[in-house]
Amino acid sequence: MIYVLATSELNDGCREKFLEILKANVPNVIAEKGCVMYVPCVDFPSGLSAQKVVRENVVTILEGWESLDHLMAHLKTAHMADFRAKVAGMRKSSTLNVVTPA
């Protein structure tokens, strides 16, 4: 089992449209073999002292995959290529953090 934290820092004014496109693609991803979870998230202002900043222009996707092979197959799907094309120009940056239970 692996988990992915996929973080996109968005250009100003793009978050709602980005989320609309992302959420429309979620059923395609959930249907993929090996997908355990795929949850779009935005920062929540918790008021906790450890949360230093609430990032208004950041979207994080929490993903769970049965294996690295499943993640790699996911990245090559047609619906992900279509997603990337639709959000082109909306992101300043994107990062992936892949973790596994210790």
Q: Residue 68: which CATH number? A: 3.30.70.100
Q: Is residue 82 part of a domain?
A: yes
What does the pLDDT read at residue 26? 98
Q: Is residue 9 part of a domain?
A: yes
User: Does residue 94 lie in a domain region?
Assistant: yes
Segment 30-54, tens digit of pLDDT: 999 999 999 999 999 999 999 999 9
Q: Is 49 within a domain?
A: no
Q: Look up the pTM and report it.
A: 0.94
Domains in the chain, number: 1
CA angle 29, 23, 6 (to 5 degrees): 65
Domain assignment of residue 61, given as a range: 2-44+54-99
| Structural tokens at position 85 | 């094309």
Q: What is the pLDDT of residue 32?
A: 98
Please report whether residue 81 resides in a domain: yes
Q: How many CA atoms lie within 13 A of 16 on its CB side?
A: 1
Is residue 39 included in any domain, yes or no?
yes
Residue 22 domain-assigned (yes or no):
yes
pLDDT tens per residue across span 55-89: 999 999 999 999 999 999 999 999 999 999 999 99
Does residue 19 lie within any of the structural domains?
Answer: yes
